Structure 1
């Protein structure tokens, strides 16, 4: 199996009120589920993989999603953004500018 893309979703969970915040506390679980659902809906199991991670750094911009091998970082991702990431970036090859943080 040769993957076309691998998406990493920060799932790190800090205690409520932590000064750095956390992607887990900002709804990363729902984003992960939306990505997994989109992979299933589109039948892309052999082309796209999603993996939950611990902290990737930009906690104040979470939930953070990183797309490899492109090296594109998205911040503030919501479940409603996932279809746009698939259509615009993963299918058409153009990163979603409004969500891009790196």
Structure 2
């Protein structure tokens, strides 16, 4: 493929940071669990409202399906850094929004270390 052809598919970075949050909802007592069953919806609602009101077009927020660590949820990942978070309270979401999404400072106490 020529360099010229590559330019046709170059997509500009739209956001300074982009959040993907798991919205998977499995039935109660499902053996894999789910972020939804662990209380994700109110947290993501709060985050979505903050992104819309205060993100200034620099923060993207996308509902994702299963991210593979179901029983550990609710889970979200922030790009371009690739930092995984496990917020459990509205205050956690607010801290991630202000510190990481707006100011670029990782919230170490909420970072999830992934192992398989």
Equivalence for 2:32: 20
Moved over 3 A (4+): none
CA deviation after TM superposition for structure 1 residue 2, in Å: 2.7
TM-score (norm 2): 0.78
For residues 20 and 76 of structure 1, the distance between their equivalents in structure 2, rounded to whole angstroms, comes to: 19
- What SS is found at the alignment partner of 1:6? strand
Q: Does 1:64 align with 2:78?
A: no
The CA RMSD measured in Å over matched residues stands at 1.6
CA deviation after TM superposition for structure 1 residue 45, in Å: 4.3
For residues 87 and 45 of structure 2, the distance between their equivalents in structure 1, rounded to whole angstroms, comes to: 15
TM-score (norm 1): 0.87
**Who wins on radius of gyration, i.e. which is larger?**
2
Q: Does 1:31 align with 2:65?
A: no
For residues 61-98 of structure 1, give each alpha carbon's deviation from its aligned partner in whole angstroms, at most 9, with x where no partner exists: 11001101110001143322111002211222221111
For residues 60 and 74 of structure 1, the distance between their equivalents in structure 2, rounded to whole angstroms, comes to: 14
Counterpart pick for 2:53 among 22, 37, 41: 41
Greater RCO structure (CA 8 Å; 6+ sep)? 1
For residues 12-51 of structure 1, give each alpha carbon's deviation from its aligned partner in whole angstroms, at most 9, with x where no partner exists: 1111101221001112111211111111332x24101111
Q: How many residues align?
A: 101
5+ residue gaps, structure 1: none
